Structure 1
């Protein structure tokens, strides 16, 4: 789930904290496992941010190209993670400027829900993927039965979200772009993990003056909260709804 939207905490701090926030750990580790980067593969990261995950992918021998429209985050990616197997571009994913069949795989961590025209993004993904290429993505869902309409609307505003996704909604959009959904997985599905997420939303709404408290809260959620969330998911995971939807699709 994206945590770098329009919150009151500085973006640099938010992005650093997000890498070990309980909301992101299962999401990102699962997508990276599905991605299974291989030496020599070319992988596009849409919404690469500070390049943290690109460095991990590149360490497996793949060449990673990251695109984003946030100049400060791209500058951090260039400074900290630029290597012979990583490359970064200031580029809007709705106007991907790569040649057809350039990439073996595409990955995107909770970015698609922020686009004004995600259909165009997926059409570009299809175009730049090689035959049989795959996309791995996560998206905000908030499909838990306990999530209220008011919470969804607050989430839209807090994180600049345009769309929420269920598996049926995403499958339809992928199909229109020439991509076939092959597997999916909801995470943060239980009332307990929703309660922890609600706490994190309150932390994200704190004013800048209380930024140290925000950081402390994230640290607690990243340790104790993660243990509680894992226990709840292991014992009562729902297969058909959750705060975040993970998906893998293949170019038809």
Structure 2
């Protein structure tokens, strides 16, 4: 969130009060199972909020983003805890086999050529390196094409993912899929997410109440076939 203070623009990250993002991050951290020595790449790191949290769990963290304004926000948040680079995900400026793991929170769907981006991530990961990501699925039966089109136009989304197609894409790019799961799949969590899209500021205020309820709802949901999001873990071949 941006606001003016003493004629200066001040950025406050509210990712920590976002039900979806918190759920995605916690799932991916569980998939990563970091031991404290790994070199991790944060894909399209945005304002650096999650990068800064990763810095306490890994040996070294490098974040990159194409958006210069977001990188400026990340640099202000950084405090020297992690590296930052401005670059395009389709053409990464790193040498081969540089990272033990890569993480991306809802970024792949925003890359026009998702296969090229995944291939680049495979190139810079060491053999056996982990790739963990969340992606947009929007596959619940009550989500219409109009809903998807509206979301895609607002957030520049090029792709939607389901288990089968995503697994095929990952294998083509040089990864073995370890596990995947749908998120925001329960009626309550899906409803909270829809309201977040419509009224984000209100959702931040309600976060202390909605987050634990959504976690419980997801835990007991029997739906394993669809959701608003997908999380996956894959290993570089």
Fold-level similarity (TM above 0.5): yes
SS in 1 for 2:143: coil
State the shift of 1:18 in Å.
Answer: 2.9
State the shift of 1:79 in Å.
Answer: 2.0
Please give the per-residue CA displacement for 1:171-203, whole angstroms capped at 9, x wherever unaligned.
Answer: 011011111111011111022222222222222
SS in 2 for 1:107: strand
Please give the per-residue CA displacement for 1:120-141, whole angstroms capped at 9, x wherever unaligned.
Answer: 0011111111111110101011
Of 190, 195, 198 in structure 2, the residue corresponding to residue 199 of structure 1 is 195
Matches within 5 A, 1:57-68: 57-68=54-65
Question: TM-score, normalised to structure 1's length?
Answer: 0.85
Instruction: Say whether the 8 Å CA contact 1:17–1:215 is kept in structure 2.
Output: no
Instruction: Say whether the 8 Å CA contact 1:37–1:57 is kept in structure 2.
Output: no
Question: TM-score, normalised to structure 2's length?
Answer: 0.90
The separation in 2 between residues aligned to 1:217 and 1:135, in whole angstroms, is 30
SS in 2 for 1:196: helix
Structure 2, unpaired ranges of 5+: 4-8
Q: Which has the higher contact order (CA 8 A, sep 6+)?
A: 1
Distance 1:58 1:167, change over 3 A: same
Q: How many residues align?
A: 232
Structure 1, unpaired ranges of 5+: 1-8, 204-213
SS in 1 for 2:25: helix
Of 52, 55, 80 in structure 1, the residue corresponding to residue 52 of structure 2 is 55
CA RMSD of aligned residues (A): 2.1
State the shift of 1:218 in Å.
Answer: 2.5
Please give the per-residue CA displacement for 1:10-40, whole angstroms capped at 9, x wherever unaligned.
Answer: 6999972233211111111111122222333
The separation in 1 between residues aligned to 2:38 and 2:178, in whole angstroms, is 20
Counterpart residue number, 1:230: 215
Of 114, 120, 131 in structure 2, the residue corresponding to residue 118 of structure 1 is 114
